Structure 1
Amino acid sequence: MNKEVTFIRIEQEEEIAAAAKLAAEIWREHYVSLITREQIDYMLEKFQSVPAITEQIERGGYVYYLIRGEDADVGYMAVREADGKLFLSKFYIAKPYRGRGYASRADEYLERLCRERGLTAIWLTVNRDNASSIAVYTKKGFRTVREQAADIGNGFIMDDYVMEKEIPPLQ
């Protein structure tokens, strides 16, 4: 990819709305083969709606970024520092832009954030049945460190792998 990619820290209402819109589009396209539509709708409202994202930014310690390239918002991600590591809470690329190097650029950006902040690793959770995402994370150097099942309410369980990538300091 030769085009410029920018990571825009989400702070304004219209940026939050853009992330929520991307979430709805991506989740309804990608996750329909992994979880029910009811769970998708529930999770979007609980975790990826404008009020939910606003709450995470204002009170949860999360930093959201729009990923902009090709004159469009191609995806978004959210991170939070904890215990000397960076938690990659959200990372999504819209279908038309997958396979174009955006995940690699985001991975480079996250590694740089870790090094600048003295953090030792990036970790995330991923649905155990989400083979395409697991393959991308594995290719980027993440390894599965454990499994977890989390009750997220309304009778829904998130059945995930926890994956982690160590970030050695620059020598």
Structure 2
Amino acid sequence: MTATRARFEAVTQDSAPELAELAASIWREYWPAFLGTAQTEYMVEQFQSLPAIERDMREHAYEYWFIHAADDDRVVGYTGGHVEPETNRFFISKIYLLAAERGKHFASEVVRFYEGLCRERGLRAMYLTVNKGNELGVRAYNGNGFDVIDAVVTDIGHGFVMDDYIMEKSV
């Protein structure tokens, strides 16, 4: 068994502002190349801002975690999602890592974290959406046992769409 590379810290009301800052930083560094600046800024405001995070925690039972490196406890990214009781799955809404931390197997640690969470909660599977142009993400999820189960284009308003694969892993 491989050594644990990550530690997960639950985000609270008090630490939500720190999460929003981290999210904006990661999004503005990574996504403009895929989505353009206008859509990136729109998505940060709609889905990654402090009001969006607080809304999702309050109204949609989202849970968020900071991802820390086990060796020195630095924050390397964040993750979040929520249980879908109607499908008995966990929807992983977010797995985002700082640029300097990509390629260090933190995403694999996140998947193992969710596997444990799903088992603890008696969930049958976990799933996520990944941008079709995000080849790094698609490869990482395939390598961690996720399979593409669908492809969707979702209108998110203001003329923007998300063009994603839906990937699922049974637990």
Superposition TM-score, scaled by structure 1 size = 0.92
State yes or no: 1:67 paired with 2:77. Answer: no
Corresponding residue SS for 2:31: helix
Unaligned runs of 5+ in 2: none
Q: Closer, same or farther in 2 for the Cα pair 1:110/1:3, shift >3 Å?
A: closer
Runs of 4+ in 1 over 3 A off after TM superposition: 1-4
In the TM superposition, 1:57-96 aligns within 5 A as: 57-69=57-69, 70-82=72-84, 83-96=87-100
Q: Percent identity over the alignment?
A: 39
The alpha-carbon deviation at position 61 of structure 1 amounts to 1.1
The alpha-carbon deviation at position 4 of structure 1 amounts to 5.5
| Residues 143-166 of structure 1 deviation map (CA, whole Å, 9 limit, x = unaligned) | 100110111011101111100011
Structure-2 separation of matches of 1:101 and 1:158? 26
Out of 133, 156, 159, the residue aligned to residue 155 of structure 1 is 159
Aligned match of 1:35: 35
| Residues 52-100 of structure 1 deviation map (CA, whole Å, 9 limit, x = unaligned) | 1011111111101111123321110111111200100011111111122
Structure-2 separation of matches of 1:129 and 1:149? 13
Aligned match of 2:168: 164
Aligned match of 1:10: 11
The alpha-carbon deviation at position 12 of structure 1 amounts to 3.0
Structure-2 separation of matches of 1:37 and 1:96? 21
Corresponding residue SS for 2:154: strand
Superposition TM-score, scaled by structure 2 size = 0.92
User: Which residue identity does 2:77 align to in structure 1?
Assistant: G
| Residues 111-155 of structure 1 deviation map (CA, whole Å, 9 limit, x = unaligned) | 000101111111001111110110100100101001101110111
User: Which residue identity does 1:10 align to in structure 2?
Assistant: V
Corresponding residue SS for 2:152: strand
State yes or no: 1:24 paired with 2:10. Answer: no
Corresponding residue SS for 2:46: helix
Asked whether the 8 Å contact 2:5–2:106 carries over to 1, the reply is: no
